[in-house]
Amino acid sequence: MENRSDFLIIGSGIAGLSFAMKAASIGTVALITKKEKAESNTNYAQGGIAAVVSGTDNFNLHIQDTINTGVGLCHRDAVEMLVMEGPRRLNELIQLGVDFTRTGDKLDLGREGGHSQNRIVHAHDHTGAEIERALLHSISLNPNITIYENHVAIDLITEHHLGKKISPESQINCWGAYVLDVHRNCVLKFLAQFTILCSGGLGQVYLHTTNPAIATGDGVAMAYRAGAVIANMEFIQFHPTTLFNSGSPAFLISEAIRGFGGVIRSRKGEEFIQRYDSRGSLAPRDIVARAIDIELKKSGEEYVLLNLHHLPPDKIKEKFPLIYETCLSKYRIDITKEPIPVVPSAHYSCGGVKTDLMGRTSIKNLYACGEVAMTGVHGANRLASNSLLEAIVFSHKAFDQAKGINRNDQTSIPEIPDWDDSGTIDTEEWVLIEHDKKEIQQIMWDYVGIVRSNHRLDRAYRRLSLIQNEIENFYKHTKVVEGLIELRNLSTVAGLIIRCALMRKESRGLHFTTDYPNRDDEHWLHDTVITLSDI
């Protein structure tokens, strides 16, 4: 069975929905999503979109803040494009009906770590959900877009599936993806002239994460297996302030709270981050997360405290209604009176499938946008609230490229074989999947977290290699199900993170290793690039 469209989009976050809405003006769109269409990292984004819209702000300041936070690895051309196009793309969302918070007739602008100005456009503290709402409403009115919920991409369709031998110098083409229809329990061919990965992040590779259960690194894993260039996977951002002991995914306490005046203190009351950075609680995320991690290890405590009770209670409730209500009703914490116990959790991947400024990957007709992509914007550490901005800017650039495709040239897609699961068996040994998943998450949390070392990384690599071999053998002999697909992808991206971390012999941004504690611009002022042929 097959599905043909002009555009295949994998993922329903802000990048995928933005692209779908525009692509539908020139062709047919198939959008596949693992769960319900509103389940994505975008939907969990509290903070907002960073954009230069204030008369006291300017492009150069936003560019410099981004580059400073990225610790030398940002691609300046990508950052300049991001910042300068941001206001136009933001205005498109406003025209679409996104209800951003206003003060009078002006957008209310918040401030977050690493920013020198108030420039965070937000919808109170549930910005991602509000953007998803507006985009999904617009898409529901467009007959050219079909959304396939509970469909899980297995692998990208390339020359590999035609039985062709591919050398490192070969041009690889993408013609779509094999996709599991979870409800019907069958594998379909989704074929398209233009495939765009908008599959989001990989936070579930860690034991503690702010990401939803669907964030299993599928896009990066599929692209890597297909032969795409992957870059900077060692740079995993840990959000400094998630609610202690709040389950999985961990409940995020927005960075905007610190921008509003919240202060991080030890349980003894010390404002300790000042010892690591003069900006204190408003330092970039890598510095704050590492400071908390070091203090917790030294003290033996399980969490630190985020204090807001010195701020006006009415203003806290007005600006952060979701956080206030959740903490009060679910966790019995009145944040206007009591400190919030917080710990860092895995939050965002600054690396991913390497693209150019137009979203193009190294595989022909395969594009990537959003967290799955490594555009060069974030460098070694992402500036807060640049992620939603990146998604809308680069999905628009990908659309600019899409406008050039010849939609009448169906001969460009060769005859693709049906999914072959002959020789495989159904199994009820799903306890193996859950056990391997937990083991991967524990390994990554213990050895490939905020602070690393050669010994920890080597140990993680050896242990993960055994698990990967076990998973791949199980995969080859078993009919595919959602959990097995995700487990295979988790093991793949975990391996990529470890390998990139072992390659970088310095500490920079989100990658801190005790064996090389200093930044080394002479040898490491470049991206960490990896492909399937490097094994």
H or E segment at 186?
Answer: strand 186-197
For residues 436 and 204, is the Cβ–Cβ distance under 8 A? no
Per-residue tokens: 254: 């927005």
Q: Which residues belong to the active site?
A: 285
CA distances from 137 to 37, 130, 132, 133, 298 (A): 11, 11, 8, 6, 50
Neighbours of 496 (CB within 10 A): 25
Going by the DSSP 8-state scheme, the letter that residue 83 receives in this structure is H
Q: Taking each helix axis from N to C terminus, what angle separates 218-226 and 482-503, rounded to the nearest 10 degrees?
A: 70
Please enumerate, as own/partner, the contacts of 126-129 that have beta carbons within 8 Å and a separation of 24 or more: 126/46, 126/322, 127/45, 127/46, 127/47, 127/48, 127/49, 127/100, 127/388, 128/14, 128/40, 128/41, 128/42, 128/43, 128/44, 128/45, 128/46, 128/388, 129/38, 129/43, 129/44, 129/45
Report the C-alpha gap between 154 and 484 in whole angstroms: 10
Residue with tokens 């819209």: 53
What lies within 8 Å, CB to CB, of 460 at 6+ separation is 443, 444, 446, 447, 448, 498
